[in-house]
A and B are shown apart, each in its own frame.
Chain A
Amino acid sequence: MDLPATLLDGVLLGGLYALFAAGLSLIFGVMRLVNIAHGDLILLSAFLALTVTTHFPIHPLLSLLLVVPLMAVLGYGLQRAVFNRTLGNDILPPLLVSFGLSVFLQNALLQIFRADSQRLHAGPLETWHIDLPFGMTMGALPCLMFIVAVLVIGGLQLLLFRTALGRALRAVSDDGQIAQLMGINNAHLYGVAMAISLAVVSVAGVFLGIRANFDPSIGPTRLIFAFEAIIIGGLGDLWGTLAGGVILGVAQTLGARINPGYQILAGHLVFLAILTVRPQGFFPRSR
């Protein structure tokens, strides 16, 4: 494989990592909740899509019409029933509860779906590709993933900075107590934020399932990728998160080019290097 082709693959892979990270970043921004179960929720949505596509003969991307609203409702309920009870001045209780949720989800998925590798079959989309100069090819699927990532992040950005809901979310993020004085019901707004987060998660989950094999145990690694993309990009900036995802994706594909066994390691090494040199990330939100 040529170097330009490797770089292109990495960039496009970064789109998927940005999708992993966007929902996590939103939740941390709005309520300082570090959702350890985020990776397992990605897997949950992949398995939901699997269930839908085995019962109805539809394309996995179409299953999103069902999976996205389901996950959003689940997110709202989860926030109101569980996470809202843990929020306070201390960030530890919500962290621990989400850790518990992670363990629960992994085992529940294992119980229901077994440890077998699964895959969402997307038909010709998996193999379609465009020939580019210099012997490069661009797969339709990675390309689509990247475009969707850009659209999702652009959409979130519009939501946060151009709508009344986004204004309220930023206000609650700034000062939860004063936000109540504006007539904002924080508990409801946190629920809405989690619903949006899990809607994004379901898009990420379905792409994950189309792109590669998955089983109930791989959630925590997706969480790590999401964290790394966020930290590299700089906390609080969604476009930064996309850049972080791209850097991570390129590092991984370059590592894999040297030796297939180095893929994950190369990503972590680049992350650690950036954390050492520029711990605030490349695009930290200035306050």
Chain B
Amino acid sequence: MPFKLLETRGLMAFYGDFQALFGIDFQIEPGETIAVIGSNGAGKSTFLKSLVGLVRTKAETVSFDGQAIWGKPAYRIIAQGMSLVPEGRRLFPSLTVEENLSIGAYSRRKGPWNLDAVYTVFPVLKEKRILPGTALSGGQQQMVALGRALMANPKLLLCDEISLGLAPIVIREIYEQLERITANETTVILVEQDVKQAMAVADRVYCFREGRVVLEGRPSDLGREQITKAYFGV
């Protein structure tokens, strides 16, 4: 059996009394890019937040890089090599672009990513490095958010709706860069509402509906009808 970088079995997540995930079984191998698709409220974002420890969860197992991480605080999971690009970018408003990037390296993990590497991928950020992060356009802010996550030199990169609210041309640019980034062996889980985009970049796809996995497979093996059915549950 190949090594799984991340594996969850029976993962359940809760917001107070409300249960958002009902036993998710999920696995990803090193180097894979996986897209999680599903409609609004299917539990995709909650799934990512559960992995990094931002949501209260129960599970049989959640293991990452060979270690059990269930119940650990977020900062420890991050230090082990997981990074999340949060939905809506969520830059720190009182920090400059460069400070936003630098703080991504807070846990001081070693690896290929540093300020220069991020500026090479997104040269426009270097020009704007002394501006407040929130003074940038949406697309540029997304680059900062992505760069900030990469600065942690993650083994596993989680991206939550990085195309949300952006112009198609900007989305294409960001995805092009993301593919270049994942080429150098970063493992990625993408949460994406744009199914076409997701299918184009992913090695495998998980479709969520109402907090459960309803379909899983390689994009080439999945028919359009099969996906529509899983997505809408009709």
Residues of chain A whose beta carbon lies under 8 Å from any beta carbon of chain B: 164, 167-168, 170-171, 173-175, 177-186, 285, 287
Contact = CB atoms under 8 A, between A and B. Distances in A.
A281 B132 CA distance: 23
**Contact count band on B:** 20 to 34
B95 A167 contact: yes
14 contacts: A168-B106, A170-B92, A173-B94, A174-B94, A175-B92, A177-B54, A178-B86, A178-B90, A181-B83, A182-B148, A183-B75, A183-B79, A183-B106, A285-B94
A182 B95 contact: no
A180 B95 CA distance: 16
B27 interface: no
A181 B95 contact: no
Interface of B: 52-54, 73-75, 78-79, 83-84, 86, 90, 92-95, 99, 102-104, 106-107, 148, 152
Nearest to B90: A178
Given A170-B95, A182-B152, A185-B73, A175 B90 contact: yes
Contacts of B83: 181
A255 B53 CA distance: 56
Contact of B107 (A178, A183, A285): A183
Contacts of A285: 94
B106 A164 contact: yes
Which of B75, B83, B102 has most A Cβ within 10 Å?
Answer: B75
B92 A185 contact: no
B101 to A, nearest CB: 11
Nearest to B78: A183
A28 to B, nearest CB: 15
A56 to B, nearest CB: 41
Contacts of B103: 167-168, 171, 182
Contacts of A181: 52, 54, 74, 78, 83-84, 86
Contacts of A184: 75, 106
A185 B75 contact: yes
Given A167-B103, A168-B106, A180 B93 contact: no
Contacts of A180: 53-54, 73-75, 78
Contacts of B99: 167, 170
